[in-house]
Amino acid sequence: MITALLILMVLAFAWSMGAHYTGACMGMPHASGSIRLWPALLLMAPLTLLGAALASHRVEVTVGQGIIDAARVTVPAAIAIVGCAFLLTTIYTYVRVPTSTIQILVFCAVGVGLAGAIPVDWTTILHLAVLWVLAPLVACGLGYVFTHIVDAIAPEAKGAQSKGGLLPVLLVVVGAAASFTMGSNDVSNATGVFLMTHLFNVWTAGIIGGIGLAVGVLTWGKPLLKTVAFDIVKVDLAMASAAQLVQALVVFTAVTFGYFTSMNQALVGAMAGTGFARGRQTVQWGTVYGILRGWAAGPASGLALGYLVTRLLLAMHAAV
């Protein structure tokens, strides 16, 4: 019974993430007018499943074995980790604030580990923290450079929305690549606990989580797609192409080394870089500041909630 509850919680968390990251993957193609909303979601869903099933294995191992001591993780502890992360991700999605489910998940695990006397691998946490700081900065710089490169290659795209031609098609292709990357990068947020508890191997975990991601994209993907697409930066085709390409490149590079970083942070960093390439007036700074506040709150809320829920569960167990 308790194992079934863990599986259901993992599927629920994957569903929530699928909805949360629609804007990060298909926001630029949709914002530029290169693809309509429902075709974007229908393209994204199967690609996230493929990415989760085929390319998530190294990150699964990092989450399942590299954050806290897997030998000390019980099924109730795993439920606490995923349950807390699912709750926080759903809240942030509901209020339409793109945050990092990766940071939420990691610090929920740390909170559970601290409260339950499970050793935390602080070296992995440090490596991830450095990556989280560097990724949006690198994406910002690359966004600036790539925008000027696209301007040089396709000057007609500067200041243009989708009017046909090759560049809108290429932008959709890059969005599709970002969708595949999201599956490989983010599925382990939900399914890493399967490896912690030795319930499933990386292949089965990836497939189960990928199904949850795909369903989330299709059933609740519209709000974040609209937020990221239209509220952060005024884009033209060159900016959109540069931002989406940089995001996929930065995140997939991290995945190949077995680490995961925020799709939203990489995209917003890249979008800021493209905005600087066009002038500060293109960046919607009020929205960006709101997202930065969400990023700061995510790890703190994950740590606090994971710790408090675990302490509560331990107290209830001791009282029985």
> Is residue 181 pLDDT above 80, yes or no?
yes
Q: What is the pLDDT of residue 317?
A: 83
First vs last C-alpha separation in the chain: 19
Identify the pLDDT of residue 309: 96
Q: Where are the domains of the chain?
A: 2-314
56-70, 83-97, 114-128, 130-144: least confident range: 83-97
More confident residue, 238 or 125: 125
Q: Identify the pLDDT of residue 93.
A: 73
**What pLDDT sits at residue 142?**
96
**What is the arithmetic mean of pLDDT over 185-205?**
96
DSSP 68: B
Q: Are 153 and 41 in contact (CB under 8 A)?
A: no
pTM, 2 dp: 0.89
DSSP string, the chain: -HHHHHHHHHHHHHHHHHHHTHHHHHHHHHHTTSS-HHHHHHHHHHHHHHHHHHH-HHHHHHHHHHSB-GGG--HHHHHHHHHHHHHHHHHHHHTT----HHHHHHHHHHHHHHHTTPPB-HHHHHHHHHHHHHHHHHHHHHHHHHHHHHHHH-GGGTT----SSHHHHHHHHHHHHHHHHHHHHHHHHHHHHHHHTTSS-HHHHHHHHHHHHHHHHHHH-HHHHHHHHHSSB---HHHHHHHHHHHHHHHHHHHHTT----HHHHHHHHHHHHHHHH-GGGB-HHHHHHHHHHHHHHHHHHHHHHHHHHHHHHHHHHH-
pLDDT digits (tens, 9 = 90+) for 21-69: 898 899 878 877 889 999 999 999 999 999 999 999 999 999 999 999 9
List, for residues 146-174, the tens digit of each pLDDT value. 998 888 887 766 666 555 677 888 889 99
What pLDDT is attached to residue 283? 59
Quick check: 230 pLDDT over 60?
no
